[in-house]
Amino acid sequence: MNTDRRWFPGSPGEPSERTQLFCLPHGGGGASAYREWRDKLAGIADVVPVQPPGREGRAAEPAEWSMTALAEQLFEPLRRRAGDRPYAIFGHSMGALLGYEVTVALAAVGRPPELLVASGAPAPQLPVGTERPVHRMSEDELVGHLRELAGTPDSVLRNADLLSLLVPTVRADFAACETYVHPPHPVLDVPLLVLGGEQDTGVPPATLGPWRERTAAGCAVHTFP
């Protein structure tokens, strides 16, 4: 069996020359977050949702606690899937950091994406600044934190069976982000599009502009009300 398919669930669709858009999920999320994008972007791009280990169809696999290791695991499957076609990478929150690390690796072998879109994530070279790492919280504290973030249905947070699946993955995802230290990467020659929210207290607009330091090919920053 082609193990690359674990990373890219779903039908690849009919062959085309459209740009492939690899979509990397937020912490705790999976490829299903982009399920509707295929229809919404049909005719514009071929959306390829990415499935990291430890969730949905890969729930039996342990989630990765290291961002660098996760990027290393994704690098070859993504390069093979991209083939010779044009492609771009979109990542939200944790997915933006993963997308950046994979882009650095792909650029190093002369096959970078045509565009990297980083949504809802501070520039990678900025210090994390977490006074109390979320990944070290007790389960009750972690669930309370998820409730405050309001991104997980309350029905899930009240279900012990679902929490037993969710908490280890969320903890690993927070660890991957909170323990990340930006390596001395060369500046990219890849255009960047950075997206954020004007009222996002978790990722303040001031943390978006420094993404410009990570590329020599131009970086547009857009914030939404």
Query: Is 11 assigned a catalytic role?
Result: no
| Interior/surface letters 14-40, b for 16+ CB within 10 angstroms, e for the rest | eeeebbbbbbbbbbbbbbebbeebbee
Nearest to 52 by CA among 89, 13, 98, 96: 98
Q: Using CA atoms, how far apart are residues 164 and 183, in angstroms rounded to an integer?
A: 34
Q: Using CA atoms, how far apart are residues 141 and 137, in angstroms rounded to an integer?
A: 6
Nearest to 53 by CA among 80, 73, 76: 73
Q: Catalytic: which of 16, 66, 93, 138?
A: 93
Catalytic residues: 93
